Structure formats: structure tokens, C-alpha cells
Structure 1
Amino acid sequence: MSRVIKSNSVLTFILLCFWSTLALAAPEIEFDHSKTGFDLTGMHRGVSCESCHQAGIFQGTPKQCMGCHLQGKIAASTISNGHIVTNNDCQSCHTTVQWSLVRVVDHSAVIGTCVSCHNAFSAEGAPSTHPLITADCATCHRTSVWTFARFSHANAQAGQCSTCHNGAFSDGKNSTHLPTTESCDACHTTNAWTPAHFSHDGVVPGACATCHNGSISEGKNSTHLPTTESCDACHTTTSWITSSFNHANVVPGSCATCHNGSISTGKDAGHVPTTESCDACHTTISWITSSFTHDNVAPGQCATCHNGSISTGKDVNHIPTTESCDTCHTTLGWTPANFSHSGVAPGTCATCHNGTYATGKNSTHLSTSESCDTCHSTNAWTPANFVHSSANYVDHGRTISCSRCHQSKPEGASNAWSNSIYAPDCAGCHANDYEPDEHRNASVSSLRNCAGTCHKSTPEHRATKRSW
């Protein structure tokens, strides 16, 4: 009996080995899962069939993520208790390659408020340094980028700025901020942190350097004039520049202590050479016009300064001369000038009096090639004095303008007679003065020489007699 049992056991073992060998030798079957309409990608490729197809049931296996990845459904990783509330499918945010990190969140499908997720449990929430606020995240933040945040100060209470702007929650006063207990909104606005607008109304006069010391706020620069005065001695709170400096306490003659070209305006490159102090010519009321005293200037040395570079010199129309300025001009006034004609050669007037260098003949002057000094004198340009050399000209005993006789241009002997047929006798000019009633039985022609024809013994028709 025992021998039979032993033989059966051996036979059974051999059969098991045989079938095992056949099973191991059978080829592994490849199944194309994409034909089911659900392609296996990512982590799904390593999942065993029975994990999804439980109890050997293939038909009706879910194809949507939620069909498996929900608590109590099939053997798949499930949504955690802290997952955000959403009606989106898993693949909207997750991939089959990696469950986390989440690639993107479609906020349009999120159910609830921002803090429903952004609570530091489901998703990143407000850090410990976040300003204390009950408003929803979307009030300041956007779904496209968490920072920069946009905050509306519309509901912020005046004077409460430091509740947030304390250096912990949000930017506060930096280390160089001027010492003050005022609220931020006393100087700053919600539109821009800078520039700030500071009211100096409560600042004690003379205390400017408490802030304007170069550290807390702008102070004196390296080229500022040396002074122990407070800023408000010269500057105002309206504008840092232009400043107003009081020279009342400045010692006369010490101008160059400041006016040296470095600290303040000094002599420019075209200044007259001098060792005098600024206040010898300039005043504290106005840098220009200056007043220069010529008392110590040596006569004949004018061109040392009046050379056109340092100070006004001869202009292009000045008469040609090597004389010094003070020969004609005075220190009281540049014009009028006083020119001495004592050294001028007679007949050379037009060298200067040509209308360019000095006054010349005007457009109504009689035509003549004579030199100016033939008629004019150096004492006065008018009246002119012309001496007629012709024997036909009778001295009339008084000044008569040229145009009384020379009534057309150019003036000359040919147009000197108004009735030339009687020239050169008196009637040549005075024919129109003939009165027939007084000159009975006589004609103009017969009485053409008024002064000699009729009244030889009486002076009534003399040319020098004014009452003709």
C-alpha cells in the first residue's frame, strides 16, 4: 500500500514539473490597449491589469480619471482630503507621468473663494508677514502671477499706514528716513511712494540740519560756501534754489573767499586784469551792472582793458586813429565823444566825415567837391558859412540859405538866377519883386540894376538894406 502511494506521489510530481515547463515555455501575449479607447501612458503602463479590471471584468471599466481616482473606487490613488474643490477632471491639472507637481490650475473651474484653497493646507496661503486683511486674495493678487500684488488703499484709514508699512508686512521707513512720528500719508501718497511731499510748517527755524545733513536728507554739497548759518538763512521751503544770501555781515574786501569760481561765481576769463576786491566795482544788489572808478588808471592806458576782449573797444566803424581812448572819450560817458581837430590837416575832413566813420554830407546837401571846412567849422556843423568868390555875387549883409537862390540841383552858377535873362544884375533874382506903380514909365529891363540905375544917391535899394 505504501509502495503504491509512493509511486503516485512521484507521478504527480513529474506531471507538475511537465506542466510547469510547458507553462514557462508558452509565449507572453502582447495586448494593444489603445484599441480600447484608453491608451496606457506614463504611470499607467506599469499598473497590473487586475488593479483596474477587478474580478476579471473588462467591459465597463471607467476611462475618466474620476472613475478610478475617487475614494472607494477601484485600487487607485485617491484625491486627498485637502484637495481643492473643483469640477475639473484630474487631467486638467495632473499628468499620467507625475501626480505632482501640478502643472497648472484652471481657476475658472475652482469652486469657492481663494482662501478655500490658499489656506496653507490645500495650496500656498498668506505667509506670516502678510498684512492683516479680511479681503479675498483676488482683491490684490491675480491668477496669472502671485506677485506683484495690486492693493487698493480706498478703504485704508488715514494715519494707519504703519499697520502694514512697518518693514515686516510691507515696506516701511528705511534706515535713512528722517526722524518723525508722523504717519506715512503725511508726506507720501498711495499713487507713488516717491516723490514725497513734506510740509515744513511745524519745523523750528534754524533746525534745518536736523534732517538736511546729507544722510537723512540732502545737505550742503562739497562746493557749498563755508558757513555756520542754518539752511533757512538763504534757502526757502518752496525751492532749494534760487537762494537769497544776505551780505550784511560780509567783511568788505573779502568777496573772493566765496566768489572764487569754485564756491560761487568768480571772475570770468574775460574779466579786466585787477587785484581789486569784487566790491570795488560790484554791489550785492546786482552782479551787473558794475561801477568802475578810473581814478587810478594812467592816462593813455585805456586799451589795456578797452580792447574788445576784456571790455568794450573801438567798433568796426570807428575812425582810424592811434590815439588813446581818453583823447576823445571820458570816463563819465562813452558818448558823446569830444574830438580835437587841431591836428587835422585842412581839406582832409572827408577822411572821417564820409558817412561811415563820422557824419558826412546828407542827401539834401548841395553838390560840391569842396572839402567840409570850406563851409563848416569844427565848432559847429551848422550854420555853414560859404564865401562866394564870383564878382557877380553882391554881399547881402545877412545869411541867406543856399536854396533861396539855387532852387534846383545841382547848385551852381547856371541855376543861381530865377530870371537868368537879367543876369548878372539884381533883376536876375528880383525881377518878380518889380512894382510897376512905383516905377512909372520904366521897365524891369531898364531898371535891371536896382542898386545903381535909378537910386544912385540914396541907399534905399542897397543889397545890405533889409527893408527893401
Structure 2
Amino acid sequence: MTRPPARLDGVCELLRGLLFGLLLLLASAASAQKLPDSSFDHTKTGFPLTGVHTRERCESCHLNGIFKGTPRDCDSCHTSGSRFAQSNTVKPARHIPTTQNCESCHSTQGFSGARFSHAGVQPGTCSSCHNGSLAPGKPSGHIQTQAACDSCHRSSAWLPAAGFDHANVVPGTCATCHNGSRATGKSSTHIPVGAQSCDACHRSFSAWRPSAFNHTQGVVTNQCASCHSGSFPPADGRGVRHIPYQTVASVGSANCDTCHKAGFASWTPARFHANASVSAQCGTCHSGSFPPATGKPATPVHNGVTTCEACHKSTTSWASAKVDHATFSTATNCSSCHNGSTATGKPTTHIPVTSTNCLGCHTTSTWQPSRFNHTQVAVANQCSTCHSGSFPPADGRPARHIPYQTLTGAAIGNCDTCHKAGFTAWTPARFHGNVTVSTQCALCHSGNYPPAVGKPATPVHAGVTVCESCHRSASAWSTVSFSHSPANAVGTGTCDTCHNGAAATGKPGSHVPIPAGAARCDSCHRSQASFSTAVTMNHGVVTTAQCRTCHNGSFVSQGNNGGAMAKPANHIPESQLLNGAAMDCNGCHTATSNWGSPRMNHNGSLGGGAGWCKSCHATGTSYLGGMEKKSLTHERKTPVALDCSESGCHRPLGNKGAAYTKWD
């Protein structure tokens, strides 16, 4: 069979078109006369209508009214040249090359918004489609690279791109791409780094942060504020409570590192005054609004004060402040500031001065020395208010002060009861001169409170606890009326235990000598009221002593009745007797009660040099005694007798009389 000529083919094609159009008109007319049943459920055909298909007429797919054999795939209707394509949208010539079914990417809602599945795309072949013709390709501003798209981009979206291999990037050329056009560039809040390359700080290709910036990448000395202005986070600027140093004339141009010298890791610690010289405008920062720059406290001393440096002359410490007291007077209420809180107040050990103003004693230049002179407050009978030991330098009673406060009944008002020498010295002070005391002497006179003397360590004071038993005067110890205890009564022989010249009055130098051990005071002195009262010489206790030890004229003042009487001037010269120089008084005077009844003891004198008789018995001698006196010539004149006995007349050598008792 031969093919008709070409012109006939055209005629045939035209006729077929006219016939097809006629059939459509007929079908439309028939349809207009009788529409399909709208309740027809197309789902039952196995091909549910969705999207745009629900709005198409039946004959758009069922050509020539033929239902059977209507294709169900997309390609039969949406491929150019297909008889079912008619006026349908068909796959364009520039469609990306794919063997996938249409529905793999497109839906019945429309061809636009296709969702291409890259599941079957071979790695490194992206540009087969993404060439700017079939699918979007690299824009004109894309970074220069020969790498496949999927080296950086993912099939889910172009951005964000990740995984760019920076291995071959020349150091210092980051900005070639990272210029904000081709790739992410520095943001408007990036710290100003001048011409510094990105990789000076950003060392990772996976993320911009954290960066490796450490203040060594550029010049930072005295340049801190170039970045730390608050405009380039995270480089923080001055906080709202940073001291406003820029308003202080002398340091307004300072930079951060003028004060912040702790390195780049921390702003603190920072020292302003240690690094900046400021002598004025202190209140600019020290207002309390810019901690840690302290402001003035809400105290009276600071009321109305705006110029710190008027008092505070040091920038290292507030404590060295010197308030100008030039305008202050005694009318100034010092304690409004000097209350221990606002300014130095009275310490707890300050003397109690009640409402007396500080200026009454202190000057405005220093607290000490003060001018206190006991006129600023009432002090009469008030001494111990201050002088209690609790308010130095007002000293109190020392530990060895007499404990007058323990005395019962002593009318002692205050210190000035005894201390009357004024306010410059405690001494001299007189207790007994101002206080009447008759008992309890030992409370003070114990030896523990000089100059109040205690009892001496003598036998007379042993065991004695009541001074006033003997000492009756508060002006002198010597006015004593000793009360002897029964153990020391007359006759006990204990007197010299005390009366030894040390503990109590002892024997005077003019006392008659008595043998040691045998004689006791009360042997003669029988009264304890006085040694000179009721004195009776007791010769019984001096029998071992010689009479002339006392009766020699040296002790006539001792005792009563002329004391120890000595031989009178007309006493017979016992030295004329045989061995008479060795004779004692009791050789003749055998009684101690009186001298008047002696018994003459011739001591065996023989006369003629062996004791002379004539010394006493010669006429003309005037010695005491009733001896008979005659001249040696009373018997014969010649020869004259040598002595009474030796003459051969009177015994013991003569024959007359009895020896020593009778002449004839």
C-alpha cells in the first residue's frame, strides 16, 4: 500500500479535524439535552477524581464518548503528541531529564509546586539539571567553585549551604567570598577589625562561633572603646551604672585599659584612682548611682555637701577625711555627727558627761589631749561617777585602795570626802581626818592597803584582830591602852614576851640590872596600867645577884622611895675590913625591907692591917651605926696602941670581951 501524496494527507487531516469537531458539537448538544448524573461516583471506576480533574468535563478524557480504555497514567494525557493531550499542559522540552512518573513530583492540584525527589539522583550530577536552563543553577553571585552542588547544598533546600571544602582556600582571602553578597559577610554589628582577614579569628569552617579572638589579632592598647562601645556584641560596652568618667575634665579622654588592667578575661578588678589623677569633681561618680563608687551616706555631716574633696583629700581612703570645723562653736551640736555612726562618737569608755557638748573639752583638730578640767560638769560628791575604773584615763580605786566601802556606819559620800588636794593629784588624802571611825579598823589596817599600816609581826599582836581594843585614837598608834589577856595576867611571868623593847616597851637603860631568866617584870611590877604603878622590889628573884649591882648609886631613880639606894657617904668603910672589898651589902644587911637593922659582920678582921678596928671605932669617926668609939690611948698613953685588937686588949687577938660583940 502506497502512501497518499502529501497534499492529500493535509486534506485528510483537515477532514478528520472537521469530523472531530462535528462530533464534539453533537456530543455537546446531546450533553446539553441530557447531563451526566451528578451523583455518579467516579471512585467506583478505580480512578478517583482529585484536584483539577474534578473540574474537567467527561469528554476531556473520554474521547468520542468512549469510556473503556481511557488511560489512567499522566503521560498519556500530558505528553506532547498524544491524542489525549489535546489542550492539556504537557511536559516541556526543557523539563529536567527523568524517567520518573509525573506523579512522583506533581500532584493533581497543578504542575507548579512540584516536589522533585532526588532519591535516585547520582551524587555529583546536580548540574545536569541545575544548569540555569532545566532547573535553577548557580546565580551570578555564587562563589567561584568547580565543586558539585551537593558538596555544599542539600536536596531539601539550597540554603543553608554547608560542607564547603575550604581546604584550598588561600589564607587571608575569606572576604573574597564572605562579603555579604556571595557568602555571609561581616554583620553591621561586627567589631571593627579594619583589614584583618576573617580567618585571623574564625578558625573553624563549620561555624562562625566561637571565634578565636583574643585581642592579639590587632592593636588594642588604648583602643578598647573602638569595639567595647555597646554597638558590637558580644563585645560589651560600659554598663548604664559605669562611672561617668568621660564627664570628668581631667580624664575624659581615657580609654578602658587605663583602669581595666586585669587582662582580657575579665573587666574586674579595675582601679580608677590608682591609674587616673583626679582632684576635683568627685561627686560626678561618687553619687551612689555608680557602684562600687560609693556615694555619700545619709548622715548629718554630709547634708548639703556636694564637693567631696572639700574634706576628703585622699583618693585611696575615705577615712582620712578632715572636716573643716572652722565655723563650729560651742553652740554646735557635735553629737549630731559624732554619734559613732556618721563620725567618730564617744566610745563606751568615755566618761559620762551627760549633755555636755564635745567642744567643752575637745578641740576641732584632735580629740586628745582634751581640755577637761572638772569644770565642764558638776563634780562635787560625784567623783566615782567617772573614777570607777571603767572610763580611762579617769582612773578608779586601785586594787590596794582601802576598802572603805565595806565599813558599816562610815559616812563616806564620794572620793572627795578624803581626797581634797584638788584635781591634779589624789595625794595627799586623809581618811581619819574626814571620817569618824571607831570600829572595824582591821578592814583597812591589814597590811594589804598601804599606807594604811597593818599590825606588826610581834608577839603582842599575835592573834589580835581588833585594833581598837588597845588603840583608842585614830590620829596616832601610840595612844594605846593595852588590854592584857588572862594568859598575860600579873604573875604569869609572860611580860617580857612582849616587853622586850621591840614589841612593847622594854626595860630602859636605867633599869636595875637583874639576873637573866629568874626575874620577870611582874615579879616587881604588879600593875598592867603602868610600870611605875604598884612597884614593889622583890629581892627574892635577885638572890643570885650582888646587892651592890643595884645599890651603887646608879639606879636611885628606879622604883619608889628613892629607888635602889646606895651607901650613904658616912657608911662605914667596909674596905677596911679583912677582905672587905669583896663583901656585899647582905653581909650585914640581912633584911630587904629596910636598911635600918643590920647585923655588923666584921668578916674575921684581926686588926693591925688584917682589917682595921680603929677605922670605925676610933674617937672622932662619924660613920653610921651605934658602934662604941674610943681613942687608942684610952687605956695607956704610951706606947700608943696600933689598933684595938692588935694592942692585946680586945679580942680576937686580945683577952678582953667577946670577939666582935663585946669589948670587955
Asked whether the two chains share a fold, i.e. TM above 0.5, the reply is yes
Give, in whole Å, the separation in 1 of the partners of 2:502 and 2:176.
Answer: 123
The alpha-carbon deviation at position 181 of structure 1 amounts to 1.8
Which residue of structure 1 aligns with residue 503 of structure 2? 460
- Does 2:460 align with 1:446? no
**Using a 3 Å threshold, how does the CA distance of structure 1 residues 396 and 27 change in structure 2: closer, same or farther?**
closer
The amino acid of 2:181's aligned partner reads A
User: What are the residue-to-residue correspondences of 1:199-278 with 2, within 5 Å?
Assistant: 199=215, 203=219, 223-227=246-250, 231=255, 234-235=258-259, 238=263, 242=270, 244=272, 255-256=279-280, 258-261=281-284, 268=296, 270=299, 272=302, 278=309
**Using a 3 Å threshold, how does the CA distance of structure 1 residues 275 and 129 change in structure 2: closer, same or farther?**
closer
Provide Cα deviations, 1:325-350, integer angstroms capped at 9, x if missing partner.
Answer: 24455667658978544654344356
Aligned with 1:292 (options 322, 326, 349)? 322
The amino acid of 2:84's aligned partner reads A
Please say if residues 154 and 161 of structure 2, whose CA atoms lie closer than 8 Å, have aligned partners that are also in contact: yes
Please say if residues 59 and 65 of structure 2, whose CA atoms lie closer than 8 Å, have aligned partners that are also in contact: no
Which residue of structure 1 aligns with residue 194 of structure 2? 180
- Does 2:462 align with 1:424? no
Where 2:344 maps in the other structure, the secondary structure is coil
Give, in whole Å, the separation in 2 of the partners of 1:154 and 1:315.
Answer: 77
Aligned with 1:100 (options 97, 100, 112)? 112
User: What are the residue-to-residue correspondences of 1:120-159 with 2, within 5 Å?
Assistant: 120-135=132-147, 137=149, 141=153, 146-150=158-162, 155=167, 158-159=171-172
**Using a 3 Å threshold, how does the CA distance of structure 1 residues 166 and 52 change in structure 2: closer, same or farther?**
same
**Using a 3 Å threshold, how does the CA distance of structure 1 residues 74 and 151 change in structure 2: closer, same or farther?**
same
Aligned-residue RMSD, C-alpha: 6.0
Q: Which runs of 5+ in 2 are unaligned?
A: 1-25, 288-292, 455-460, 470-483, 506-664
**Using a 3 Å threshold, how does the CA distance of structure 1 residues 201 and 282 change in structure 2: closer, same or farther?**
farther
**Using a 3 Å threshold, how does the CA distance of structure 1 residues 84 and 203 change in structure 2: closer, same or farther?**
same
Where 2:466 maps in the other structure, the secondary structure is coil
Where 1:75 maps in the other structure, the secondary structure is coil
Aligned with 2:441 (options 345, 370, 393)? 393
**Using a 3 Å threshold, how does the CA distance of structure 1 residues 445 and 186 change in structure 2: closer, same or farther?**
farther
**Using a 3 Å threshold, how does the CA distance of structure 1 residues 452 and 279 change in structure 2: closer, same or farther?**
farther
Please say if residues 312 and 318 of structure 2, whose CA atoms lie closer than 8 Å, have aligned partners that are also in contact: no
Please say if residues 152 and 164 of structure 2, whose CA atoms lie closer than 8 Å, have aligned partners that are also in contact: yes
User: What are the residue-to-residue correspondences of 1:161-176 with 2, within 5 Å?
Assistant: 161-173=174-186
Give, in whole Å, the separation in 1 of the partners of 2:446 and 2:127.
Answer: 124
Give, in whole Å, the separation in 1 of the partners of 2:305 and 2:311.
Answer: 10
Aligned with 1:303 (options 334, 354, 372)? 334
**Using a 3 Å threshold, how does the CA distance of structure 1 residues 362 and 132 change in structure 2: closer, same or farther?**
farther
- Does 2:355 align with 1:322? yes
**Using a 3 Å threshold, how does the CA distance of structure 1 residues 380 and 338 change in structure 2: closer, same or farther?**
farther
Which residue of structure 1 aligns with residue 213 of structure 2? 197
Give, in whole Å, the separation in 1 of the partners of 2:188 and 2:502.
Answer: 116
User: What are the residue-to-residue correspondences of 1:320-399 with 2, within 5 Å?
Assistant: 320-329=353-362, 334=367, 340-341=373-374, 343-349=377-383, 351=385, 368=406, 373=415, 389-391=437-439, 393=441, 399=448
**Using a 3 Å threshold, how does the CA distance of structure 1 residues 170 and 287 change in structure 2: closer, same or farther?**
farther
Q: Which runs of 5+ in 1 are unaligned?
A: 1-19, 406-418, 428-442, 463-468
The alpha-carbon deviation at position 164 of structure 1 amounts to 1.9
Give, in whole Å, the separation in 2 of the partners of 1:143 and 1:398.
Answer: 115
Where 1:460 maps in the other structure, the secondary structure is coil
Please say if residues 261 and 267 of structure 1, whose CA atoms lie closer than 8 Å, have aligned partners that are also in contact: no
Give, in whole Å, the separation in 1 of the partners of 2:112 and 2:227.
Answer: 55
Please say if residues 203 and 212 of structure 2, whose CA atoms lie closer than 8 Å, have aligned partners that are also in contact: yes
Please say if residues 69 and 79 of structure 1, whose CA atoms lie closer than 8 Å, have aligned partners that are also in contact: yes
- Does 2:51 align with 1:38? no
**Using a 3 Å threshold, how does the CA distance of structure 1 residues 230 and 29 change in structure 2: closer, same or farther?**
closer
Aligned with 2:68 (options 35, 58, 61)? 58
The alpha-carbon deviation at position 249 of structure 1 amounts to 7.6
**Using a 3 Å threshold, how does the CA distance of structure 1 residues 122 and 232 change in structure 2: closer, same or farther?**
same
Please say if residues 334 and 358 of structure 2, whose CA atoms lie closer than 8 Å, have aligned partners that are also in contact: yes
The alpha-carbon deviation at position 166 of structure 1 amounts to 1.4
Higher relative CO (Cα under 8 Å, sequence separation at least 6) belongs to: 1
Which residue of structure 2 aligns with residue 439 of structure 1? none
Provide Cα deviations, 1:70-110, integer angstroms capped at 9, x if missing partner.
Answer: 567653354344444667543343232422233x4444465
TM-score by length of 2: 0.44
Aligned with 2:314 (options 254, 277, 283)? 283
Provide Cα deviations, 1:235-290, integer angstroms capped at 9, x if missing partner.
Answer: 5674677354678987xxxx33x324269979736455779882764224x14232
Bigger shift: 352-361 or 90-99? 352-361
**Using a 3 Å threshold, how does the CA distance of structure 1 residues 81 and 420 change in structure 2: closer, same or farther?**
farther
Fraction of identical pairs, as percent: 29
Q: Which has the larger radius of gyration?
A: 2
